[in-house]
Structure 1
Amino acid sequence: MQDPAPTSAFAPLRHATFRNLWTASLASNTGMWVQNTGAGWLMTSLDPSPLMVSLVQAASMLPVFLLALPTGALADIVDRRRYLIFAQSWMCLMGLVLCILTATGLLGPWGLLALTFGIGAGSAMNFPAWAATTPELVPREDLTQAIVLNGIGFNLARAVGPALGGFVIGLAGTQAAFAFNAACFLVLILALVAWRREEAPRTLPKEHFLSAMRAGMRFVAASPALRRIILRAVVFFFFGSAMWGLLPLVVRERLGLGPEAFGMLLAAMGIGAVAGGLLLPRLRARVNRGDLVVLASLAAAAALVLLGFGRHWAPVGLGMLLYGSAWISASSTLQAAAQMVAPAWVRARAIGIYQLSFFGALAFGSALAGWLGTIIGVHWALLGFGGAGGVAALVMRRWTLGAEAAAEAAPAAPLRPEEPAPELAPLLAQGRGRLLEVVRYHIRPQDRGAFLAAMAEVRRARLRSGALNWQLCEDIAYPERWVELWAVENWNEHLREQSRLGPDDHAAIGRAAALHQGETGPKAVRYIHRLP
C-alpha cells in the first residue's frame, strides 16, 4: 500500500491538544534518555561484563513483553487520561528511588536492573495507552503524520537526552541524571491533568478485565493483516537490538572513550532519526510500506556492520546516523500500519500485543547479542546480527503490510434474529450464561465452493468481533443445508459483537448471505446456555 501525496510532518501540531501533549512528551522522553544513558554507563562500573551491560536494555524492554496485553486491555476499558497519569506517576516514583539509592551508594548491579525493570513496567503501561490516544487527538487524515511526529519527538529527545545525560553524568554523577528524569515526568503529568478528554458515552457495561484480554487475543489471531505486521516488526527489532545491547561496550572498550562520547553517539542516532522522519512523508509517497521496511532493515543491517568494523568514532558515528534513520522509518511505518488495521474498540489491546511482540524481540535479541559478545566477541556479534538481519529482511519481503483491498460488498441479506422473550430479559441483563448464535443457510450445490470461500472470511469476522469459537456444519442428509454456529461469553458480549463488526466484516457476511436460496434471508436464532 502506498501513501497519498506527502504533507508536512509537522501538520498535526495545528491541533492544540496534540501539540500540548506532544511538547510535554518531548520533555518526558528527554528525561528517559538521560536516565537510560545513566543506567547503561553506571552498569559498566558496577559490573562491566557484556551480559550485564546488555541486561540493562533487556530489563527496560522485558516489562513491555510481559505486561503489554494486560496494560492494553486496561487502557481500553478505563479512563485513558487517568491511566496515563498513573503510569507517569509510577515512573516518576521509580526514578526518585533510583536517584536516592545511587546517591547513598546503596545501589548494586541487580538493584539497578530491578529499578530499571520498574521504570520499564511504567513504560509498558504507557505505550499502548499513548498509541491508542493519538487517533483521538487528530483526524484520520493526520494520523500517519502524527505517528511520524511522535517518532520525531522521541528521536529529538534521543538526540538531546543522551548528550545531555553524558554531560550531566560527567559533571554531577549518575544520581543527577536519575533526578533529572524524575523531574521531567512531572511535565507530562501536568499536561495530562490539563487535558479535558471527552470520553465517548457507553451504552453497555464496561468489559471485564479478563474478557477484554481474551477479546484482544482473538482479534489479533483472526486478523491476518495484523499478524503480518507483527511478524515483520519482530524480525526488524530482533536483529536491530544488537546495537542497544552492545553500544556501551563499543564505546568503552573498542573506542576507549568516556560517557560524553557515549551520549554523543546516541545523539547522532537521534539526529539521524529526526532527519529520516522529516524526509519520510515524501519517501512514503514513492515507496510502498512493505518495501520501505525492507530498505530500513537493510540500512540497519549496514549500520551494525559499520559498528562491528569501527575502531574510530567517525565510522561508528556514521553507523549511528544510518541506524537512527532506519529505526524511525521502520518503526513508524509498522506502527501506523498496525493502528490502521485495528478498530477503536480494541486498538490499545492490539497495539499492546504488537508492542509485546517487538519489545520481546528487542529484549531477547539484546540479551542474545550480549551473550554472543561474551562468547565470540563484540565485533563478531555485531557482524553476525547485521548479516543475518539483512538476509531476513529480503526473505520477509513477500509479507505485505496493511489490509488487502476488500472485494465489492454484496447486498447484505437480513440476518437479524427475533427479539428476546420478555421472561428472559432479567437473565440476559445479568450478563451471565454463554450465548450460542446460529445462522441457517440453504446453498445450491454449484455455489458450494464460493460459499466455503465466503465463510472463511465470515469466520475471521466472527472471531475478530468476540466469538469464543466458530463452526460451520453441513447436513449429511441434505447437503444444501448449512448451519453456522458460534458462541460468545454472554448477552453483553453479543451486543458488543454487533458494534465491533466493521465495513469489511459486514461485506463478508453479506457475500455469504447473498448465496442463500430462499424468499427471505438466512434464518438466525440465538440460544442461552442453561444448566438442567
Structure 2
Amino acid sequence: MALPRAFAPLRHSVFRALWLATLASNIGGWIQNTGAGWLMTSLSPSPFMVGLVQAATMLPVFLLALPAGALADIIDRRLFLLGAQAWILLMALILAVLTATDSIGPWGLLALTFAIGAGSAMNFPAWAATTNELVPREDLVGAIALNGIGFNLARAVGPALGGFAIAAAGPEAAFGLNAVAFLVLILALLSWRHTEAPRRMPKEHLLSAMRAGMRFVSASPAMRAAILRACAFFLFTAAVWGLLPLFVRQQLGLGPQAFGLMLGVMGLSAVAAGFALPALRGRLDRSATVFWASILAAIAMAILAVSHHWAPAALGMLFYGAAWIAAGSTLAASAQLAAPGWVRARAIAIYQLSFFGVMALGSALAGWLGGSFSVPLALGLAAVGCAIAAVLVRPWRIDSLALSETPPTAAPMPQPEAPAAELRGLLGEASGRVLEVVRYRIDPAQRSTFLAAMQEVRRVRLRSGAGNWSLYEDVAHPERWVELWTVDSWTEHLREESRLTETDRAALARAAALHQPEAGTAPEAARFLNVTP
C-alpha cells in the first residue's frame, strides 16, 4: 500500500527513525520549558524573572547560530549532533537532580536553562542541513514539512505532558522526562551509519568558515531572497505570538483554558496543512505558496482583530496555523536548496538567525502597540503590514531557476600555470593573501554582453570564498579586460574549485566563451602571493 504523499519521506528508514526521535526530543523540550517556567514561579515569582526563562531559552540562538553552523559544516555532522544531544542530556540530568534535592535557585535555573538552550541552538542548523542527506531532493520539501508537523505536534502535546508531570511528581519529573527524550535521540543517532565524504583539503578554521558562510549568503540571490521573504513574513505574523495571551484575556475575556484551546487549534491546523502541502506544491511554486500563505496570515490576523467571541477567534487561529506551516516549511526548503553541501549548515544558521531576530522584534513591537494602544489595533496593523509586505517582496523569487541557455562547455577555461618549485614551500594556510587574475580579450561590440556575464561571475567568486572582486577595462585598448579577486590564503584558493556548483561553472563558461582567443587559447589566468614588505 502506497504512503500518502505527505508521508512519502518516511519511507526512508534513517529519516523515519531520526524524525520519530526528534519528535520525542521536541516534546521533551516543551516539557522542559513548561517545568522551568513553573519552577521559577516558586523560586522567584516576579514577572521579570519568569520572563527571563524564555529569554534564557532563546538567547543562545542569537549568540551561537552562526558558529554552530560553521562547526556543523567543518566536522562530521553525526558526531556534532551526538555531542549537542549529549550536552543537553547532561544539563537536563543536572537540573533534575538539583531540583529533586532542593538545591536549585532562580539564577541556577536560568543558567541551566541557558545551557540547554545552547545545546538546542547548536543542534538547529546541523539537523536542518542533515535533512538533505537523509532524503532525495524530490522529497526534501516534504521532509521539511514533516519536521514542521513534528514541531507543532510537540508544541501541542509537550506542555500538556509537562503539566501532568509537574502535578504528579513535581518539576524534577519534567526535567527527567526531557533527559529521557534526548536519550532516545542519541540512540537513534548512534544507529545511523553515516559515512563522512573524504576530504581533499584541510578542514576550515572556525572564524574563516564563518566568514565564508557570510560571503556566500551575501553573494547568493537565492539565499538573500529566502531571507528577505522570511523576514517580511515573520516580522508581522509574530504579532500573534506576542499578543495571544492578552487577546484571550482582554479581548475575549476568557481564561487559560481558552488560551490552551487557541494554541491547540493553531497546532492542529498546522499539522493538517503540513499534510496538504504535497498536493499544494503540484499547483503552486514555492514563491506563490509563500505569497498566498502571507495573504492567508493577514486574513487570519484581521479576523482576530475584530473577534470578541471564541468561535471567530478559533477560525482565525485555524487560518493562522495553516499559513504558518505553509510559509515556514516552504521558506526553509528554499534556503536549504539554495545552499550547496559545503556551506549548507552555515547558510541555514544565518537564515534561522534572521527569522528568529525578526520574530523577536515583531513580537516585541506588537506587544508595545497592544499595551500602549489596544490589542485589536496592533493585530489590525500587523494584518495590513503582512499583506503589504507580501506584495512588495513578491518579485524576489525563491524558486530554483533553470539556466536560460545551454552552458558553452566547449569554451576553454582559464588554467593558471603551476607554482614555481622554489615558492611551493610558502604555499599553505599561512601564505597570506593570494591575488588571482584573469585577462580577457573581448570584442568591443560584445561589451554589454560581457558585463552582464561578469555580474554573475562576481557572485560566483564571492560565493566561493573571494574577499573582494574587481573588473578593469584597459582605457587604451578597449578589448582588454582584467578580472581581479583575492582570497585569504593559498589553501582557501585551492578550496575555490571544490566549492563550485554546476551552475557556477556554467556562469564561468559563459564569460570565457566571450573571450576572443589567439590560436584557440583560453583567457590568461595567474596567481600572485602577497609579499608586501
Provide the TM-score with structure 1 as the length reference. Answer: 0.91
Quick check: 390-399 or 132-141, which moved more? 390-399
Q: Distance in 2 between matches of 1:415 and 1:16?
A: 45
RMSD: 2.7
AA partner of residue 530 (structure 1): V
Shift of 1:238: 1.5
Shift of 1:307: 3.9
Report the more deviating stretch, 159-168 or 179-188. Answer: 159-168
Check the 8 A contact 2:431/2:529 in 1, yes or no.
Answer: no
Q: Within 5 Å, which residues of 2 pair with 1:457-468?
A: 457-468=456-467
Q: Is 1:156 paired with 2:128?
A: no
Pairwise CA distance, 1:368: 2.5
- Whole-angstrom distance in 1 between the partners of 2:174 and 2:449: 64
Cα deviation code 1:75-113 (max 9, x no counterpart): 1001211211222233334444555666649554x7766
State the identity %.
64
Instruction: Please say if residues 428 and 489 of structure 2, whose CA atoms lie closer than 8 Å, have aligned partners that are also in contact.
Output: no
Q: Closer, same or farther in 2 for the Cα pair 1:83/1:140, shift >3 Å? A: same
Listed one character per residue, the Cα deviations across residues 6-28 of structure 1 (whole Å, up to 9, x for unaligned) are 97121121221111111100101
Counterpart CA distance in 2 for 1:20 and 1:385 is 39
Per the alignment, residue 524 of structure 1 pairs with 525
CA distance in 1, matches of 2:164, 2:313: 20
Distance 1:397 1:174, change over 3 A: farther
Q: Among residues 226, 238, 243, which one is paired with 1:241 in the alignment?
A: 238
Q: CA deviation at 1:64?
A: 1.8
Partner of 1:376: 373
Amino acid at match of 1:356: L
Letter in 2 for 1:302: I
Unaligned runs of 5+ in 1: 1-5
Specify the alignment match of 2:413 in structure 1: 414
CA change 1:528–1:516 in 2 (3 A) is same
Q: TM-score, normalised by structure 2?
A: 0.90
Query: Which 10-residue stretch deviates more, 358-367 or 200-209?
Result: 358-367
Measured in 2, the distance between the counterparts of 1:307 and 1:172 equals: 38
Q: CA deviation at 1:467?
A: 0.7
CA distance in 1, matches of 2:429, 2:72: 25
- Per the alignment, residue 9 of structure 1 pairs with 6
C-alpha deviations, 1:108-135, integer Å up to 9, x for none? 4x77665544433222211110011111
* Distance change in 2, residues 1:458/1:213 (3 Å): same
- What is the distance in 2 between the residues matched to 1:299 and 1:9? 21
What SS does structure 2 have at the residue aligned with 1:398? coil
Q: Is the 8 A contact 1:310 1:316 kept in 2?
A: yes
Relative distance call for 1:41 and 1:272 in structure 2 (3 A) is farther
Q: How many Å separate the matches in 1 of 2:497 and 2:529?
A: 17
Superposed, 1:376-455 pairs within 5 Å as 376-408=373-405, 409-411=407-409, 412-429=411-428, 431-455=430-454
Q: Which moved more, 1:521-530 or 1:118-127?
A: 118-127
Residue 446 of structure 1, CA deviation? 0.7
Please identify, of 367-376 and 192-201, the stretch whose mean Cα deviation from structure 2 is larger: 367-376
Larger RCO: 1 or 2 (CA < 8 Å, sep 6+)? 1
Do the aligned residues in 2 keep the contact of 1:18 with 1:138 (CA within 8 Å)? yes
Unaligned segments of structure 2, at least 5 residues: none
Corresponding residue for residue 511 of structure 2: 512
Alignment of 1:338-349 (within 5 A): 338-349=335-346
Query: Is the CA contact (8 Å cut-off) linking 1:372 and 1:378 kept in structure 2?
Result: yes
Q: Of the candidates 319, 324, 343, which is equivalent to residue 322 of structure 1?
A: 319
2:223 maps to 226
CA pair 363-274 structure 1, distance change in 2 beyond 3 A: same
What displacement does 1:420 show? 1.5
CA distance in 2, matches of 1:39, 1:309: 34
Tell me the number of residue pairs that the alignment of Structure 1 and Structure 2 aligns.
525
Would the aligned equivalents of 2:231 and 2:358 in 1 still touch at CA under 8 Å?
Answer: yes
- Paired with 2:103 and 2:241, the residues of 1 have a C-alpha distance of 26
What residue in structure 1 maps to residue 485 of structure 2?
486
- Cα distance in structure 2, aligned partners of 1:94 and 1:380: 42
Query: Residue 251 of structure 1: CA displacement?
Result: 4.3
Q: What residue number does 1:477 align with?
A: 476
Instruction: Report 1:82-231 matches (<5 A).
Output: 82-96=79-93, 99=96, 104=102, 107-108=105-106, 115-169=112-166, 171-172=168-169, 174-231=171-228
Deviation at 1:274, TM superposition (A): 1.0
> Contact 1:37/1:263 (CA < 8 Å) preserved in 2?
no
1:19-50 CA-to-partner distances (Å, cap 9, x unmatched) read 1111100101112223334556677886676x
Q: Following the alignment from structure 1 to structure 2, what is the Cα–Cα distance between the partners of residues 8 and 497? A: 39
Tell me the amino acid that sits aligned with residue 118 of structure 2: A
Whether the 8 Å CA contact 1:166–1:259 is kept in 2: the answer is no
Provide, for residues 456-481 of structure 1, a one-character-per-residue CA deviation record: whole Å limited to 9, x for no partner.
Answer: 11000000011111111111221211
